[in-house]
Amino acid sequence: MATGNPFNTILKTLQKPGGGEFGKYYSLPALSDPRIDRLPYSIRILLESAIRNCDEFQVKSKDVENIIDWETTSTKQEEIPFKPARVILQDFTGVPCVVDLACMRDAMNKLGGDSNKINPLIPVDLVIDHSVQVDIARSENAVQANQELEFQRNKERFSFLKWGSKAFNNMLVVPPGSGIVHQVNLEYLARVVFNTNGLLYPDSVVGTDSHTTMIDGLGVAGWGVGGIEAEAAMLGQPMSMVLPGVVGFKLSGKLRNGLTATDLVLTVTQMLRKHGVVGKFVEFYGEGMSELSLADRATIANMSPEYGATMGFFPVDHVTLQYLKLTGRSDETVSLIESYLRANKMFVDYSEPQVERVYSSYLELNLEDVEPCVSGPKRPHDRVPLKEMKADWHACLDNKVGFKGFAVPKEYQNKVVEFTFNGTPAQLRHGDVVIAAITSCTNTSNPSVMLGAALVAKKACELGLQVKPWIKTSLAPGSGVVTKYLQKSGLQPYLNQLGFHVVGYGCTTCIGNSGDIHEAVASAIAEHDVVAAAVLSGNRNFEGRIHPLTRANYLASPPLVVAYALAGTVGIDFETEPIGLGKDGKQIFFRDIWPSNEEIADVVQSSVLPDMFKATYEAITNGNLMWNQLAVPSSSLYQWDPASTYIHEPPYFKDMTMSPPGPHGVKSAYCLLNFGDSITTDHISPAGSIHKDSPAARYLLERGVDRRDFNSYGSRRGNDEIMARGTFANIRLVNKFLNGQVGPKTTHIASGEVLSVFDAALRYKSEGDDLIVLAGSEYGSGSSRDWAAKGPMLLGVKAVIAKSFERIHRSNLVGMGIIPLCFKPGEDTETLGLTGHERYTINLPSNVNEIRPGQDVTVVTDNGKSFTCVLRFDTEVELAYFNHGGILQYAIRSLINAKH
């Protein structure tokens, strides 16, 4: 079990520049190990965490040595434990986390423990950015109207989270309407360096949203995880991760005039996607770093999921410190951050000679080579130089259906569809823009592109250009600060004049919350099979994601979003063709409305002020009228409403006792599903809309919920009954039992009936039968990971036997008490002659001390087959979780048994 920290000998005191002490810290230089100087800065953060948390149980000296020896060990798939400094939750994914904490309190109370001990042991920041459905746009009251609609739809969820903010210590809940989670994290929540009871250490964060990586632009190591990992981290459990390779990305030169951060990030995304960075860190360095603002860095870091890296990291330097001052952090705080990071070799000072660091591989980009571009029409890494856009668009019309093709016959490519809009004749062609959205996530941390877009609007209005009234325009800043500096600059009225009214401060178009297109436009598109376009300043543009009727979706900088809205089509050559006609019928070109870098810099300098950040965030926890009027109980134990279809008490702790259940094998289990390779968590986990004929829909209809109020699986993540019914409900599921038929069904082996997966599982459960899942390689890759483990557990799945697992999904299965087993190399269901119609017995020792991580176990079937699998409990800590029936049960018993 845990012992004292063997590294307490390197605890040093950090002195204040003017006298006095900041606190103590674990000093990396005090190790006197020359290997540390060569480590990437991102790896040093992992190292400091391992040293500070070393107890020879959860974190061992061997783990510290593996990190120090990163040059050697990073190529060997070594697993290390990592304890982040804090957790950040977005409301969709935060609700089930708070549900589980509330359930743990109930369980602890029933077991006679102090239920108030169930509190996050590390800070938890929960931001309700309530994805805004852009139902009301082009109006001055869009923000208020959209917010009222969101409160009407999500009042129960919001009330529950407000209760959580009062019931749990160490949990800050940022009310709806304050901003998008990533930007609030960047501008307000990030500590960069913690000072907890006099102990100093670097800020690091895991979050339940893939774009948590935006914080890496601030020099805070952060990335997205599933809910089970987030909950475990809150309760002091380490995350298991493979020690990553680090790609060194060198930047040189300076962006040319007229270039934006979006042009840069789309270029970087394409380069990194081509290089291959899945599961790796990317660390940026080089003399070009001094030319990148913090907002530019955050834009690049935000898109880590799009280029596939765990994070895109920018070490702290003078630019970071300037941003911290700009956003209202105190001089003393900034002094602490700089002093600590310098003392612990985590600060980059480009005015000093640089010690050469070692990276797993290298890339280099001269910023002068970046050119204006967009990305699309269906993937974020399909970059198109702006000068080639018209030609590329016509090629896409020609090409066969695919990521770069729509297969429109030549004779139909120039067709004109006539329709009537509000009584006025109108026309629509392939490539015409029907949605133009400056969206929250990637770009709206960046004043240069936001004010650049406003300057484009100003020039366009002054020249007499207009946006066609049927184009759905919207502006969704990630922070209230954006509204302040747009107003201060005097430029917001020009955006309003073109229809870019502020609609809200949460996720919008990029996540599919575009709202409805005008009925006349929608009919014209649908009836004449028009390939309509959306242009947005987001980070994801997969087909069907932005809007069902926009088959072409392009990512672009905010200024380009305005330009394309004015042009009305993506099929334009901005260099040679006019955007439109201005006053007196004069042709207006792109160059006439595009601001220079100097113009943008001047307005940023005069309009973006520290007081704006202070004013915005001093009041952030005060909420708004609708939030403040939400009545919530004051009790520390939640009063569950059995009639609720949003918040429901899950059965994880039913019949839990103080004695751990101990290890348990699986006896004569049926196979629920028989899969091949590459089953992702998107196949397993409930996601998207609730299909009208699904078990989840049946459940809601039985409880009087009208079809139009089904909402999504995401909004109902706090109800395990809905989520269990949505597990394995993906319409693209391929199950070998169905002989090539695709869909969310399976065969009930005993009767031969074909049922929905949920109904089959329910039948097995009523008959007292356990279940397993058979799978191929890479089982569980993807995101949406928590319910991909919770759902199968609720269905009665006791084990998954696969050729290989995605790393995080394997640990989540362990966390929910499901046994992960791997076939021996060269073996699978085919080579072993398994059909899935057999019954499976997995023999495990009944004494936990007789089980070892990675040992061989025997699986026997009822028809006489026997084969050996590898037991994928990879650490002693995971064995402890399994002994307790799961990670949350382990945490409860540990807290009850704790002496303090």
- Name which residue leads in pLDDT, 143 or 469: 469
What pLDDT shows up at residue 133? 64
* Average pLDDT of the segment spanning 643-656: 93
| Mean pLDDT, rounded, of the chain | 92
- Judge residue 846's burial from the number of C-beta atoms within 10 Å of its C-beta, 0-12 exposed, 13-18 middle, 19 or more buried: exposed
Q: Which of 486, 488, 548 is nearest to 512 (CA)?
A: 548
What pLDDT shows up at residue 83? 97
What is the DSSP code (8-state) at residue 537?
A: S
pLDDT exceeds cutoff 90 at 760? yes
Terminal C-alpha separation, the chain: 16
Instruction: Give me the half-sphere count of Cα atoms (radius 13 Å) on the Cβ side of residue 759.
Output: 16
The amino acid sitting at 820 is P
- Name which residue leads in pLDDT, 51 or 681: 51
What pLDDT shows up at residue 227? 83
* Average pLDDT of the segment spanning 256-269: 92
- Lowest average pLDDT, out of 353-357, 640-644, 645-649, goes to 353-357
* Average pLDDT of the segment spanning 760-777: 97
pLDDT exceeds cutoff 60 at 2? no
Q: What is the pLDDT of residues 82-125, one digit of tens each?
A: 999 999 998 888 899 999 999 999 999 999 999 988 999 999 99
Question: Going edge to edge, which strands form the sheet with 246-252?
Answer: 311-313, 281-285, 246-252, 361-366
* Diameter over CA atoms, the chain: 88
Q: Which of 641, 730, 731 is nearest to 681 (CA)?
A: 730
* Average pLDDT of the segment spanning 550-572: 96
pLDDT exceeds cutoff 60 at 1? no
Handedness of CA 509, 512, 515, 516 (dihedral sign): positive
- Judge residue 623's burial from the number of C-beta atoms within 10 Å of its C-beta, 0-12 exposed, 13-18 middle, 19 or more buried: buried
Residue found under tokens 């799978």:
775
What three-state secondary structure class fits 271? helix
* Average pLDDT of the segment spanning 561-576: 97
Q: Which of 266, 124, 237, 102 is nearest to 181 (CA)?
A: 124
What pLDDT shows up at residue 860? 97
Contact in structure between 496 and 469 (CB atoms under 8 Å): no
* Average pLDDT of the segment spanning 59-85: 94
* Average pLDDT of the segment spanning 779-805: 90
Contact in structure between 588 and 577 (CB atoms under 8 Å): no
* Average pLDDT of the segment spanning 213-228: 92
What pLDDT shows up at residue 137? 66
Helix axis angle, 294-302 to 261-275, nearest 10°? 40
Q: What is the pLDDT of residues 374-403, one digit of tens each?
A: 999 998 889 999 999 999 999 999 999 988
What pLDDT shows up at residue 900? 45
Residue found under tokens 């242009």:
535
Q: What is the pLDDT of residues 518-529, one digit of tens each?
A: 999 999 999 999
Q: What are the helix (H) ranges across 743-784? A: 757-766
Portion of the chain with pLDDT greater than 70, in percent? 97
What pLDDT shows up at residue 368? 97
